[in-house]
A and B are shown apart, each in its own frame.
Chain A
Amino acid sequence: MQDAADTTDQPRRDISRYAVPLGIIAFCAWAYWLSTQFDRVPPILKRGMQPEDFPQLVIGLIIMLSVWLLFRDTSAAPERLTKMVQMTMGLLIGFLLVAEIDLFLGLGLFAGSLAALWGERRFWAVFLVGLITPIAVFFLFDGVFEVRFPRGLLTNLWYG
């Protein structure tokens, strides 16, 4: 049974083993191309290096190490992402979208939903993390640290 599972996982392991270094190399190729688009300073004003020299040096090093990983890395592929992690990531993306409407609305919804998603069933606990904490943090930063938060649906109620 164990062997069968291992056999099923083998292609995924192979893909994962090659996907990461190849992904890094592809990213580096893109970054290298971007670096060739930088403005250059005239030779008379040059102070040791052109702006693209250092990034290209680092990109070269990353590519070299990735090639090494491609052929020599034998580490096992990670387990599949669990549903819980996927849903938590989904909530993070949801937070970013709601934060465009109001940062604290996003924080409250995210915190309350995360607590519920992770199995918190006590109402007071969800209430604490979803409502009391964001409000307390807002007044702490607004009043004590004088941070001006972006205007939004809820923050406008305070800022007027």
Chain B
Amino acid sequence: MDAAILNGLLALADPHLLMLIFVATLGGVLVGALPGLNATTGVALLLPFTITMEPIPAIAILTTIYCAATFAGAITAILINTPGTSASATTCLDGYPLAQRGEAGRALGMAAVSSTIGGIISVVCLMAAAPLMARAAYNFAPPEYFALTVFGLSMLATIGDGSPVKNILSGAFGVLVATVGIDLLTSIERFTFGMNELSEGIPFVPVMIGVFGISELLVQADNLHVERKQVIMKAIKLPSREDYSRVWKTILRSSGIGTFIGILPAEGATVASMIGYNEAKRWSKKPEEFGKGSLEGIAGSEAANNSATGGAMVPTLALGIPGSPTAAVILAGLMVHGLRPGPTMFTEQADFAFAIFWSMMLVNVIFFFIGLWGAKIFARVTLIPIQVLWPIVFIFSIVGAYALEQSMMDVWIAIGSGILGFFMRRHGFSVVPMAIGLILGGMLETRLGQSMVMLDEKWWLMLTRPLSLFFFVLTVLALFGPTIWGRFFKQRSPLKSTGE
């Protein structure tokens, strides 16, 4: 393992790769700062560009975009009171009041420092936890994997601010869509309507581009009246020593919270930032300052949302279960490159895994400097009119959808998914569970089939296996726990998220 850690670091010594990571960091910050775009959309749109690359640079670019875009949401949150990503919604609460008082630089400085520390802590946890988790999962048999995947899907219930039932329904729809094509167990075609293009199933990439990119274009058609005004920012001023002494505990606490939330399947940076912010307020000596320009508020939110990125990659790489919506798109990227996330990744492709970890570490350092000294420029990006931005995004979306298989069918799938995604969002169905269901659907069916063979078609024997039973119990708790908890205990303060 030590050799893999070193080899991963050495892989980053390639100047070409370093340049790519730097450019991707700039691109990620840009994506996070642009109105309507977020980490998930950015990664989905860039996925086709990475197809012709080697796996290490390709996945490093995607994870870099993920980390950088998550941070960049804070720039717009502080300067124009519009979170670039939903994970930065809580940063607005204190960042914008500070900016209005002429302390935008101090707020941005705190956001950059907290994000960097949170990001680095989470990558260290990722390096330690992912191989351990993979080792624990190494002896999983198909029933355990099936139960784990069911648990991962059950966690979709809490994504977004829609009802859990709608989220599970959306996820189940994704799983149903994943059954299109030739059945891997029996080689029989299903739902293909005689079209050869569908025999290998509905491709992930055009669906991702459709549900995250094109559906957002339709949402933006309703936001044309939104005006964005930038607060005038003086020179960047780093937080003072006093500021640090006030917030260091908050940063560490939120980093821990964010990493833990990120590790939970399907929960992402948005939930992490909300819990991080709430906990920062709860533990603060001056809770009355929250919402009026508290540095602790910014630190609590930003450390948590950036640490969730590293945490989210733990189950993604170790188990093949995405830890967040963006991690789901990265998982699709891994699959497109023929990589198999799971326990074997740390035995057969350990160098690759550690190269990705080191690149995530590096990007946290790069965006610290970009965040501090480039914030003024990136803040201007937010003022690009959406009348110009979104037609360009559409062109890249369509060409990206086409480029992977060079098939017009994928263009139709992207547009169809976009329109479907738009209507789902209108009626309160989050599109994230659908995307994750589509990615995990094939795995779920294969493992159920293998379990049935292994258990002589007696599915109930899965409940006699301790680990499977453990994951099924967790599933029941994930689905019904909040309701039961809510009945017996009064909820302190309801948390709402908007997904990612």
A interface, CB within 8 angstroms of B: 16, 20, 24, 31, 34-35, 38-41, 45-52, 54-55, 58-59, 61-62, 65-66, 68-69, 72-73, 75, 78, 82, 84-85, 88-89, 92, 95-96, 99, 103, 107, 110-112, 114-115, 118-120, 125, 128-130, 133-134, 137, 141, 145-150
Query: Which residue of chain A lies nearest to B51 when distances are taken between CB atoms in the complex?
Result: A145
Contact of B191 among A31, A40, A92, A146 (CB under 8 A): A31
Using A82-B222, A88-B221, A149-B402 as known contacts, say yes or no to A41 and B188 having CB atoms under 8 A apart.
yes
Is the CB–CB distance between A48 and B395 below 8 Å? no
Which stretch in B118-126, B233-241, B267-275, B448-456 binds the other chain?
B448-456
* CB of B184 to closest CB in A, whole Å: 10
Asked whether, in the complex, the Cβ of B191 is within 8 Å of the Cβ of A62, the reply is: no
Q: Size band of the B side of the interface? A: 35 or more
Q: How far is the CB of A144 from chain B (nearest CB, A)?
A: 9
Contacts of B395 in A (CB 8 A): 107, 111, 129, 133-134, 137
For B445-474 the 0/1 string (1 means CB < 8 A from A) is: 100111111000100000000000000000
B218 touches A129 (CB 8 A): no
Q: A39-B188, A54-B445, A61-B172 are in contact. Are A69 and B394 (CB under 8 A)?
A: no
* Chain B residues within 8 Å of A46, by CB: 186
Main secondary structure of the interface of B (DSSP, over half): helix
Complexed CA–CA distance, A131 and B403 (Å): 20
Question: Roughly how many angstroms separate A31 CA and B193 CA in the complex, as a whole number?
Answer: 12
Let me know if A47 and B402 touch, CB within 8 A: no
Known contacts A65-B169, A118-B224, A145-B403; A54 and B179 CB within 8 A of each other: yes
Contact A107 B402 (CB under 8 A): no
Q: Which residue of A lies closest to B444 (CB)?
A: A54
Known: A55-B176, A120-B387, A148-B406. A111 touches B399 (CB 8 A): no
- Tell me whether A111 and B392 are in contact (CB under 8 A): yes
Closest chain A residue, CB of each to CB of B214: A92
Whether the pair A119, B445 counts as a contact (CB closer than 8 A) is: no
A133 to B415, CA, bound (A): 20
Given known A75-B428, A88-B221, A89-B218, contact A38–B190 (CB-CB < 8 A): yes
Contact status of A114 and B453, CB under 8 A, knowing A75-B163, A92-B415, A147-B403: no
Known: A118-B387, A141-B399; 19 extra A-B contacts, CB below 8 A, are: A38-B188, A39-B189, A46-B186, A48-B450, A49-B448, A54-B448, A58-B172, A69-B166, A75-B428, A78-B426, A84-B221, A96-B412, A96-B415, A107-B398, A110-B391, A114-B387, A141-B403, A145-B49, A147-B406
Q: Is B217 an interface residue (CB 8 A)?
A: yes
Check A150/B427 contact, CB under 8 A, given A82-B221, A82-B222, A114-B394: no
Main SS class of interface, A: helix
Distance of A47 Cα from B448 Cα, bound (Å): 11
CA distance A111 to B392 in the complex (A): 7
Seen from chain B, the residues whose Cβ lies within 8 Å of a Cβ on chain A are 49, 51-52, 163, 165-166, 168-169, 172-173, 175-176, 179, 183, 185-186, 188-191, 214, 217-218, 221-222, 224, 385-388, 390-392, 394-396, 398-399, 402-403, 406, 408, 411-412, 415, 418-419, 426-428, 445, 448-453, 457
Q: List 21 A-B contacts (CB under 8 A).
A: A24-B169, A31-B176, A34-B191, A35-B191, A47-B453, A48-B185, A48-B448, A48-B452, A54-B445, A58-B175, A69-B166, A75-B163, A111-B395, A114-B387, A120-B387, A129-B388, A129-B392, A129-B395, A147-B402, A147-B403, A149-B402
Most buried by A among B391, B394, B428: B391
Query: When A and B form their complex, which 6 residue pairs have the shortest distance between CB atoms, in order from nearest?
Result: A48-B452, A111-B391, A120-B387, A129-B391, A48-B449, A48-B453
Q: How many A-B residue pairs have CB under 8 A?
A: 162
Asked if A84 contacts B224 (CB within 8 A), the reply is yes
The answer to whether B391 and A48 have CB atoms under 8 Å apart is: no
Residues of B within 8 A of A52 (CB): 190
Query: A69 to B224, Cβ gap below 8 A?
Result: no
Residues of chain B within 8 A (CB-CB) of A58 are 172, 175-176, 179
Instruction: Give CA–CA (A20, B169) in the complex, Å.
Output: 12
Query: Shortest Cβ distance from A125 into chain B, in angstroms?
Result: 5
Task: Return the chain A residue nearest B193 by Cβ.
Answer: A34
Chain B residues positioned under 8 Å from A84 (CB to CB): 221-222, 224
- Complexed CA–CA distance, A38 and B51 (Å): 34
Residues of B within 8 A of A103 (CB): 398, 402, 408, 411
With A114-B390, A141-B403: A99-B445 Cβ-Cβ less than 8 Å: no
